[in-house]
Chain A
Amino acid sequence: MKKIFKLGLNGILFFIFLAILVLPIAFIGTMSYEESGNVLSAQDTYDSDSKIKSIGDQDANVPDEVEEFILKLEKEYYQKQLETSDSNETDEETPENEKQTNQMETENDENDEESEKLGN
């Protein structure tokens, strides 16, 4: 009984010692970084070996409804981005940003045209 009690107490001491040793090392692991969100786009590149069907791949036979839905979501996403960037940078809009927004708008228009063509 006494031996078990002794062993238990020493076990606790050993655990405390290990905890003190590991504490500063474990604290290193508490630092992390935010991963940028991935947004799927019709303009994304794809691997030919990939099992994921892409609307850019003609052999994939993606249903028209799905294709339309993706393009619609993409349009909404860009519109939201434009709205947020407009609200944030109304005071200071650099020429580069203007170029980017124009590019986005033309891309959206092209996507609309494509979806119309596909619909027909």
Chain B
Amino acid sequence: MLSKILIRLIDKAIIPATLLLASRIISIILISKYLGIDFKITQDGLILQNSYDYLKVNSYSILFMVVVLVIGLGYVVVKALLFHSSHIKPATTAKLFSIKAQSLIQNSYEIYTQGSVWLSYSYLLLILTAVMAMSNLVYPWVFYSILGVSILVTLIFIFDAEEEIKMKKNEEWLDDDQKYLEKPGELE
């Protein structure tokens, strides 16, 4: 009755959301302390003394979020390129099993749902920083860094998806006739 994809997406979005939220709060506190900037916590949220302080704290805080985003996206990209169940090398599989890290081997469904959630965050952050950069609320280089990350990761996912589609097409040519295949215990 309930959509499995939606449930999966919600499940995969909880950890990134928590990480990004935590990174924002922690980064604001750390950066304010490091730069000696005072801020108040009121009903309206965090309030800084002036626009110059706001620009600094906001920019470095968003950069901190981008670093977390890059780590998350990097994890998914590594899984997609190296540990994808469709094209993982036998040697890598053996190694992963020997170090009991076989959970890293995931199928396309797992990897792409996770990737789509992290990419959504990347695009949302890109849109927000674009608006903020136009309003001089964030340094322009923060926007350019997110733009670079978003483009690069999107391209990697596109190439991986293309490879996956090619493999699926090749599999269609395989003969699924099991007439001459040895069945367990047949030749004993």
Chain A residues engaging chain B, CB cutoff 8 angstroms:
6, 9-10, 13-14, 16-17, 20-25, 27-28, 30-36
Identify which of A6, A10, A25 contacts B128 (C-beta below 8 A): A25
> 10 new A-B pairs (CB below 8 Å) besides A24-B65, A34-B47?
A6-B1, A10-B3, A17-B9, A20-B10, A20-B14, A20-B17, A21-B121, A31-B46, A31-B58, A33-B49
B124 on interface, CB distance cutoff 8 Å: yes
B47-A33 in contact (CB<8A): yes
B102 on interface, CB distance cutoff 8 Å: no
Q: Which A residues are CB-close (under 8 A) to B21?
A: 23-24, 27
| In the complex with contacts A33-B48, A33-B53, A25-B6 CB distance below 8 A | no
Q: Which residue of A lies closest to B16 (CB)?
A: A24
Q: Which A residues are CB-close (under 8 A) to B13?
A: 17, 20-21
B76 on interface, CB distance cutoff 8 Å: no
The SS class assigned to the A binding surface is helix
Q: Which B residues are CB-close (under 8 A) to A28?
A: 24, 58, 61-62, 128
B50 on interface, CB distance cutoff 8 Å: yes
10 contacts between A and B (CB under 8 A): A13-B2, A16-B10, A21-B117, A27-B24, A31-B45, A31-B46, A31-B57, A32-B48, A35-B51, A36-B50
B44 on interface, CB distance cutoff 8 Å: yes
B145 on interface, CB distance cutoff 8 Å: no
A32-B121 in contact (CB<8A): no
* A-B residue pairs, 8 tightest by C-beta: A30-B45, A24-B20, A33-B54, A13-B6, A31-B46, A33-B48, A20-B13, A24-B21
Q: Which A residues are CB-close (under 8 A) to B51?
A: 33, 35
Q: How far is the CA of A86 from the CA of B73 in the complex (A)?
A: 57
Q: Which B residues are CB-close (under 8 A) to A14?
A: 6
Q: Which A residues are CB-close (under 8 A) to B17?
A: 20-21, 23-24
B107 on interface, CB distance cutoff 8 Å: no
B128-A34 in contact (CB<8A): no
Q: Which B residues are CB-close (under 8 A) to A33?
A: 47-51, 53-54
A17-B10 in contact (CB<8A): yes
Q: How far is the CA of A23 from the CA of B53 in the complex (A)?
A: 24
Q: Which B residues are CB-close (under 8 A) to A21?
A: 13, 17, 117, 120-121, 124
CB of A21 to closest CB in B, whole Å: 6
| In the complex with contacts A24-B17, A25-B128, A27-B24, A34-B48 CB distance below 8 A | yes
